[in-house]
Structure 1
């Protein structure tokens, strides 16, 4: 990627972080007291995400390597792109609008624009699809371990239908590709319509080639497909350990199974508010509602969301710093 574009991503990220710091919904004294209260658990949470990002990077690495080996592209470089990509996603409204173009531009010098685009689209699809798997798992776990009232039954039923419908859509995308469909969807958006149509006409052959590469992985390399999906789902499950570590500061009566439910339902609400950077407010409310639904104090959820915000800010700074280190000339 040209240094000019990398600097644009970097400046945007720095501005977003500064805005977030000045709009934090707690006083700095209260924040400092909560961080002291976390004690040894805060470093453990920060280190946990070192492992989670490694799993994410490995999933993407498998997808990239499925198209053929690239000697100059090491796992460490892809790990760097992964952390920086997620950092940009965190600070970008509508989430995936920032980090994925960055990944494509960084990967292009190694594998070419078409292969870079198809691998990033595939990885994003895996990343999102693992959300559906976690939410469906949470529905099953709740039904098995907790009494289900008729109100909760309706909620669980709606979540199940929502996830299954989106899963069907994604399976169709895996079989036929998503690039052309995304461009077609973009052509319906006001103000972007003319530009998208012109882009699709100019790059029609490339878009079709990208879709053929996406479909090829699902059709001929199923082991790679399911390995990448399993790793993304594993990363989701491991991230539940973060909630368990944070809640252990407040109580020892929370099981890991409960933490899976808390993360699943809070992430569902947060993703419904995808248009907010870092899902500001949505995640706090999601955590509070999730722990409240498990008969825990809503204050536990607010505290968990607060420590999670600190972890996100820490890794955003790391990701932005990595953008300027070890780049391909």
Structure 2
């Protein structure tokens, strides 16, 4: 069990939490959960969200130094600030003279900060201080390192991922057979965003039936849509907007689920992004397929995928993956129409860099 889970169970929270890691689905979920536990929904007087790499320490101080108004605490949520992205010389890094750490030490006990970061460098001095590692030049009396908790969310695989899938189904009043779990993992990979969307569809599909089985997986994750998605992404790579949109409209005309189309597009761009990471590495294509976590059943397509990946920059692929996540978030939390989100994504994908 994560220490953070213990905090949540006991309702005893660290004042400063840092959430990061490759599994952004879990990072986002815990950030939302902590916000709901640490702040009253709708309490804008005592809650502030700051996002981006232009956050100033003055902004943090202006909010954090004030006492809570008719509340137990003030909560500051800081997202993707870049505060932990720099590689430092750990022998010379001095927490006692670091501006952020000094500011945290001066904040009143009623101020809590929740950091959620995509880019965290393992050689970052602040990270080492947050984790309580030894060897730093000085340790200031405040903030107390016992007030700080760092939680890293790694990608789940194998048994651990299977248990998460079973737990997700159980949370929604369903059971899923072991074979169905592994079939779902084989077809959809280990991306929790995609798996959660597929599970939501499965839960809706089985209706009042208690058990999710392999035939249900077959129906929901059939291969026709995925083939069209490969063709759509190839058309995007070639800059052929007419073909890409025609393929999309054909799927819509045939009443294919737009959530499945969106999930497939994101999955394919995520695959290309991972492949791009190993471009020029000298590895064999088969080894790249394994490192990019391409399922064995489609690993024969690695040559085609690599050719497609060459037509995008690494930054562009990363942007498209992140943009698809943002749209999915808006669908789930703000009620954006799924078809609108899918079409916005396609338009953005077809826009030149």
Which TM class, normalised by the smaller chain length?
under 0.3
Q: Determine which structure has more spread, i.e. the larger CA radius of gyration.
A: 2
Relative to the length of structure 2, the TM-score reads 0.26
